[in-house]
């Protein structure tokens, strides 16, 4: 006996990945529904070797369904997640709406799987921000060994983090660079993204941080430890898929780079590619379609006591969104719902 599963936002980048990953990981599905907005009604999406036609999210009855994976943004989630939860369907939400709600667990299964049991308060579990998810996967085993005091992270985030519109804008502007008669002004982003980098993701806050930077701070504290100090600079780069991060870590006690490398190699969800030679590291183009969080450039930071530098790369549509949501569903099933 398996689960009745809903994927809301099934025509978007993340929704399609959710369907792919449910099929790839052979999640025990008895019945599946692909939901979309009315304008996308009837659009066909793939689920393994099956083709599904999308149903109308607005009129869908969640009664009798077990799990709903949401990838529809905060505004729509505010309307439909409470409806699903009230009907007895557990919502795993990819938006930022519930991440900071103390009654909603914020979960990365390799880091804090036990938090899943807190779903019952609202029948909702939150998926973290894409840049946070891959970072805490890397930090958790190191924190367990030497206790992290402070993290300084600079991100290099792909345009797929801004959805299909972001990917289209990079594609169209790149072509326009080689066509003198074409002009593709910035629309999704604040400046040209082709052949450029933009130190601005989400809105600016009063203290000068962007909302994306604030999310990384708040979410790392909620998932890993409230005592860790985090400062972030988030940058959009002209890469289609795959987020990269340069992470500087300060520990309470000494952690040798060789031991850190060994710890990371043995840790769940991590692949260490760290050779000190040309190409002995992972770049975003190589991580696309993979489940792992890749770690390279592991080295001591001699400028501070107990410092370490690492380079972290992951497919943001997978570990940063769809994969993490499916992994949450797996843990929820095994520990709480116990079907399949």
Which residues are identified as catalytic?
130, 243
Q: 210-217: long-range contacts at Cβ-Cβ below 8 A with a sequence spacing of 24 or more?
A: 210/234, 212/129, 212/131, 212/155, 212/157, 215/96, 215/99, 215/129, 215/131, 215/132, 216/129, 216/131, 216/132, 216/135, 216/153, 216/155
CA distance 17 to 25: 12
User: By three-state DSSP, how is residue 206 classified?
Assistant: coil
Contacts of 24 (CB under 8 A, 6+ apart): none
List strand residue ranges (DSSP E) for 130-170, in order.
148-157
Kindly report the length of the chain: 340
Strand partners of residue 151: 230, 249
């Amino acid at each position: 006996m398996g689960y009745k599963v809903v994927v809301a936002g099934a025509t978007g980048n993340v929704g399609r990945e959710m369907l792919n990953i449910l099929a790839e990981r052979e999640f025990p599905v008895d019945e599946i529904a692909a939901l979309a907005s009315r304008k996308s009604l009837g659009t066909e999406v793939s689920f393994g070797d099956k083709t599904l036609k999308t149903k109308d999210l607005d009129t869908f009855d969640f009664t009798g369904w077990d799990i709903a994976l949401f990838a529809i943004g905060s505004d729509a989630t505010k309307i439909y997640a409470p409806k699903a939860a009230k009907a007895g369907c557990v919502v795993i939400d990819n938006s930022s709406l519930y991440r900071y709600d103390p009654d909603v667990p914020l979960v990365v299964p390799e880091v804090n799987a036990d938090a899943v049991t807190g779903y019952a308060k609202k029948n909702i579990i939150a998926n973290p921000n894409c840049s946070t998810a891959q970072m805490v996967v890397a930090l958790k085993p190191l924190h367990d060994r030497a206790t992290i005091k402070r993290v300084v992270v600079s991100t290099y985030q792909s345009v797929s983090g801004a959805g299909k519109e972001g990917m289209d804008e990079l594609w169209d502007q790149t072509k326009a660079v080689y066509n003198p008669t074409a002009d593709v002004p910035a629309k999704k982003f604040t400046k040209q993204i082709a052949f450029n980098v933009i130190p601005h993701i989400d809105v600016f806050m009063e203290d000068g941080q962007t909302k994306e930077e604030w999310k990384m701070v708040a979410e790392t504290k909620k998932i890993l430890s409230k005592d860790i100090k985090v400062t972030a600079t988030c940058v959009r780069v002209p890469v289609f898929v795959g987020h990269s991060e340069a992470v500087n870590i300060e520990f309470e006690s000494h952690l040798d780079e060789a031991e850190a490398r060994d710890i990371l190699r043995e840790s769940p969800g991590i692949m260490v590619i760290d050779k000190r030679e040309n190409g002995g590291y992972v770049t975003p183009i190589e991580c696309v379609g993979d489940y792992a969080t890749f770690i390279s450039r592991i080295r001591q930071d001699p400028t501070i006591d107990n410092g370490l530098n690492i380079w972290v790369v992951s497919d943001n549509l997978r570990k940063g969104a769809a994969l993490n949501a499916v992994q949450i569903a797996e843990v929820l099933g095994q520990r709480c719902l116990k079907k399949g």
